[in-house]
Structure 1
Amino acid sequence: MRDEARRLADSVADRAAVADEADHVDPVMRKALAASGLVETVVAREFGGRFDQVDSLAVTVVREALAGVSGHLDSLYAMQGIGGYALWAAGDDQLRARWLPRMAKCEAIGALALTEPRAGSDLKSISTTIVRDGGELVVNGHKSFITNAGDADFYCVFGREGDGYSMVLVPADAPGVVVDHPHQIIAPHVLGDVVLDDVRVPADHRIGEPGKAFTIALATLATFRVSVAGAAVGLAQAALDEAVRHTTGREQFGVPLARLGPVPNALALSWVEIEMARSLTYRAAAASARDPLANLHLSSMAKVGATEIAGRVADRCVQVMGRFGLVRGSVIERLYREARPMRVYEGATEVVLDSLAKQLVKPYLRKDA
């Protein structure tokens, strides 16, 4: 599977610089991803996928190979899984049969709409509402920073329903759905806001039971969070490879830069940290493949560890490359920018550490503490 992913990445490497600056899905990348068959790994076998269910280790291995070449390709692949997982896990049979086989072929693109302008890590503060009206569900709200916004064929929208939280599938062409692109991040991304104004969909478009969608959202997180660590490892490795090529091919004071002053230390330390991150990531991904929810703590550790290491490695590699690491449009500059958002999305480092700390100390605290 790693070889498959590397072949795909290599085949579109010359397109990465263009695609990674795009704010809409790049057609060349989409066509190549579809032809590779790798999207089948994020869809269950009964709907045209490769495995009986999504395998966290497989997704992690693929993302490691893709992210080292193109953040755009990596995101497009991963979001086919993240955007459709809730539908597979708890959706109506007819909806699953309609959408999932098309997702396995990249004929349809999905999106998960959780975040809002005033609600990020604190999902319980969302204001989007879902109301039953006869045989329909009426959705009102404003979702923000949604990956694939504007290019998705449907959105799995998380909102309040009564005293609980529900999820509903909203086709992108449903009346009342408006997409805006009010912001762009330092590493360009297919990103936008989705405004839902009295959007009506059939009642069978609800995903799961009314008021109990937090479990679905958590299951999605548990399955895919560790794959972010895989992407971070791939990015860090690509940055180190770029730095090694530069420092071994450039001489200063009569010796290769790779043997001068603090440069060897920086390269070796980066190598050590990448291998540490890779080991933890694979362990966590294998555990997640067996039982995602029971091993969410390992996935969280891997996500924090690998993304923080990717940031440090990318920064060191820019430093050892000197002025050549600062050139706009270079591979290392693009990797440097792409490393930074990884420490924020799918659980910011501080939020994840807080959750891990609570789990760590809970057995030692009094029940009433």
Structure 2
Amino acid sequence: SLLESCGTRGRAPYDEVITHGFTMAEDGRKMSKSLNNQVFPQKVIEQYGADILRLWVASCDYADDQRIGPEILKSNAEAYRKLRNTVRWMLGTLAHYDGEDVPLAEMPELERYMLDRLSRLSVSVRAAYDDYEFKKVWQVLFNFATVDLSAFYFDIRKDALYCDPISSVRRKAALQVIDRIFRAFVTWLAPLLPFTMEEAWLDRFPGEGNSVHLELFPDLPAEWRDDAVAARWEKVRRVRRVVTGALEIERRDKRIGSSLEAAPVLYLSDEALLSAIEGLDMADISITSGFDVKPLAEAPTDAFRLPDVVAAVSPALAEGRKCARSWKILPEVGSDPEYPDISLRDAAAMRERAAAGLDG
């Protein structure tokens, strides 16, 4: 004990100690039998699993009193489900990764941006763990999974992963980056969600003696950090938010079913934003079948805008036929006599797969 150690050894029996507040009921009241508001850990584990209970602990600010109850646990379970689905998608995608890597300099810029994001995240995660800020660890990793991965990078790259030729540098680079993300992400989360991350790790790297809990946090290469790429893509993401906001209204009002039915017009005059999107396939980044850019002065009065981005978007329907493979609507569909129902990119992919003896 503290008193005994101080009396016999002249020092505390530990180097550091963390204290926490009281555990209260969901409404902030003290737990008691009379109020029937007690939460028993064993029952939580039986209903949700041990990792949900651990996630609740990690998501609490232990410097204050922490609350627990059915709704809080339900919210934690929903967050866990989203994160588990992200990891599951990576596992399914990486089944196609053969270990063939693309040099950093030859990668598409989007992949270099994601490696930069991973590098910056590594610094934040390590610092938070060192400072026992487990809530911050959870927040930055959950935000990365839902905002940077599921809603941005994975969403954009699904088309390349599913439809590009197997020799495509873009596809190979995407698989390589997802592999690096998986290794770091699962290792970082292992102290918080040990059972789930062990399950994911062994699915990816089966074998006796393998365990994510024997892995060290990865030391990421310094060359992954790229301030110029990061600055450019933060601007691209700002522009993309305006486009996705406009498309969401079109979906809500049932004018389109999928974003691939659209070919939006972006009205933009900000030189920094114009420079950021120059040379990029904004249809690919916006997950649309077409994309056009015009001066902001030409924007119609009813064009969609966001208060923090000097830009406007006017949705329009894509012209052409629907590709049976990628679902993009393009004028070129039907121009390949051997594959008349798909785009030229997809026709090339089909020929390559046929030559390799693979199914379409």
Give the TM-score, by structure 1 length.
0.25
Task: Please identify which structure carries the higher strand content.
Answer: 1
